[in-house]
Structures are given as structure tokens and as C-alpha cells.
Structure 1
């Protein structure tokens, strides 16, 4: 979680202004369409090399955006996982999917217009992730490598165990489809909330409940004969 006693991470610091400006511009226009000079200028920095000074390059800046937002989310997910474990539900697939989905949905609820006093700034993070996720070698694919993706790594491991009866390649594809479905659905809702095309409250709650249902269905869908044919073997395996 961001430590506001650290002057480099204080909400008013130059570093944080650059991170949050980059997040917005990347979300609106894409990672490759925005230059580091544009980000510095939009953040009110006269020195156009300010981004390079703080982050080195665009990859370093993208990583900083992830860390800035996923730090608090990681802590919340770890608390939810601990609560699931305390309830004896730490290997329940639906509970694990909710731990993945709901902290991101909570971010939208807090940032939705009219939901807080004083008004919270708009959320751009999910649209940023939707833009950054598929940029080669720029997203945090190694979930075990960073402290701020510990919860995601734990969730991946637990969900993969829940699907242990499926073939490895199918499990890997199901995880990617699950992540893409979740992020793109919530990113679209983030946009709709900001532009008044959707309202917070019940509509968001229904979307999240439906999304959890759909994600569990995606992860646990039976393997069809067509997929078995691609795998080159019947599924489930024929008993010896």
C-alpha cells in the first residue's frame, strides 16, 4: 500500500502526479500513442525529461502505474483470502473469483460520480490495464516477481488447483479468458460510469454478480468433443 509518509509517494508529489497523468493518458489513448514528453507537460512539469528522471523509460512508468494502484488492491485481496481461509472456503472457486473481481469493482464504486464527499477523482486504472495488458513485455506477467501481485499469484495458484481435473493447456487458456473477461467488462463499465452511460449502485452490483457467475462458468465449462479433438485425446480420459 502506498505510504503517504514517503515524500516520493505523497498524493501531491511530482512522482504521483506523473503516474496518475500517465494512467489517464494511457487509458484514453493507448500506451504507444502517448509520449513521455506529453505526460510531463500534462502533469505540469516544465522539465520534459521529468518522466525519465523518475522512471527511466515508458516501461518503468507503466510498472509504476501498476504498483501505485495494485499495492492497495493487493492488500485488500490478501485480507479477503485470509477471511476465506478462516471460513474454510480457501479452495472454493466462486469465493476465489469474487476475491479477484470485487476489489476492482469496489474501486469503480468509490470513484463513481456522486458516490463520495468530496468527490473522488475518476477511475482510469481498468482502462489503463485494458490498454497495457497486451503490450508485449510490458504487463506484469510474472505474478510471483512483485510484492504488489502476491495476491494475484496466490489466486492464480488456487484457481489452477480448483481446475486440476482439466488438461494443463485448457487451464492456462481458461485463466487468460477469465482475466480478459473480467478486466474488459469492468473497464467498459468504468468508462460508462464516468461518461454517464451507466449509474452506480444497483446496476454495478448486478454487473458484478453476473460477472462472477459468468467467470465461474467460463472456468468450469465442460470440455466439448470439438476441444477434445484438438487436444488429440478424449476427455474425460477413457479409463484403462
Structure 2
């Protein structure tokens, strides 16, 4: 693929990410994306990606690939007997560091919050998280570190925490874009790490009673 084609593809990805984050995925047509990307070719999405779902998957893959390098480094630095907080740091901090590394304005968190509303994409997000060997290994170690918490409780709590974190990040990103918030992603990240540590480790008073939700990624 030539340089011009690569740039056109990136422009479409950036345009789609912004529009999806701002208006919702179902409210944005392929035509609006191509126009926002500055191209008069309204079939550009089909040409570069094959279709709308493939465009969404390309956006999702871009996000996941960029985070994985940071997570690998954090995992390598973990002790064999790392506790819940350290394991959660390796799970959560790459996502926060990734958001902090992006230029302003950016719409990555908003897009990922919106993509959870698309069933096929939510399944892809869950699948990519679970089949990622680094994430899979962290989840197993967390379950061991939380040995006194029933597995179904851990899963139910993580189902709550994941969308909450994504929603907070999307709103925070929006305020940064609007100039009403000075970026402090590191502070946000450590707040999440502390909060998730507390919730996942909290005592269980009724182990047979817990909230059942559709399957989602473990935290993020």
C-alpha cells in the first residue's frame, strides 16, 4: 500500500473515531465519515476497509496493539508473588498511559465507550482481551491473588468496573478536548487502580447473590 493510501486510511480512521465518539456509532453514516476525512470519494471506506464493520475492527485493533507493548514491560517487572494492586496496575495503567500519549483533541476513550453498544464489536472487544496472552495471564494471577473471593463475584465486579472506567475516561477526555480540564491522566489511572483494588478485594457477605451481566472484558 502506497504512502498516499496509508495517509488516506489513517484520515478515515481518525475521522470515524471522532464522529463515533461525539455522536454515537449508529448516528454516523459512512458518507459523513468520508466527508469529515476530506475526501469526495464516498466509497473510500469500502475501498480501504471492505465495509463498516471492518472499519470498526481496524479502529479497535489500533487501540489494542498500541497498548500491548506497555503492558508487556509492566508484566516483566512484576514479582512472582505480586499482589492485587500491582497486578491491576499492569492491567489498567497501559490503557491510561495510552490515552495520555495521544494528542489533544483526541477521541479514543469516547470511541471505545461507544463501541460497547455494538453487539458484534463488544464481542470482539471481549474476545481480543481474553485471547491476549498477557491479559489472560494477568487475569489468572488476579484470580489466584483474590483466592478468597468466589470467581463469579470477581467476574461480576469486573463487569461493573470496566464500563464505569470507560465512561469516566470518555467524559474526562471530552473535558480535556473542550479545554475545561487540564490533563492529569496519571492521577486518573492511580485513582482507578486504588478503587478497583478496593472493590475486587471487598468482603463477600452473600456469595450466592451477585449481579449477572452480559459477558464483557475483564475491566478493560
TM-score range normalised by the length of the shorter chain: 0.7 to 0.9
Structure 2 counterpart of 1:107, from 84, 92, 98: 98
Equivalent pairs, count: 208
Could you say which residue in structure 1 is the equivalent of 2:115? 132
Given the two structures, how large is their TM-score scaled by the length of structure 1?
0.76
- CA, structure 1 residues 127+151, in 2 after alignment: closer, same or farther (shift >3 Å)? farther
Give 1 or 2 for the bigger CA radius of gyration. 1
- TM-score calculated relative to the size of structure 2: 0.82
Higher relative contact order (CA 8 A, sep 6+): 2
In structure 1, list runs of 5 or more residues that go unmatched.
1-5, 112-119, 232-240
The structure-2 alpha-carbon separation of the partners of 1:150 and 1:83, relative to structure 1 and needing over 3 Å to count, comes to same
Q: Quick one: distance in 2 between partners of 1:173 and 1:61?
A: 31
Q: Distance in 2 between matches of 1:12 and 1:56?
A: 15
Superposed CA deviations along residues 147-166 of structure 1, whole A, max 9, x for unmatched, are xx443333333323333432
Does the alignment pair 1:63 with 2:42? no
Question: How far apart are 1:61 and its partner, in Å?
Answer: 1.0
1:72 to 2:77 alignment: no
User: Deviations 1:52-83 (Å, cap 9, x if unpaired)?
Assistant: 12222222111100111221211111111112
> Structure 1 residues 105 and 230 mapped into 2: Cα distance closer, same or farther (>3 Å)?
closer
User: CA RMSD of the aligned region, Å?
Assistant: 2.5
What is the aligned partner in structure 1 of residue 216 from structure 2? none
The 1-side partners of 2:133 and 2:7 are apart by 26
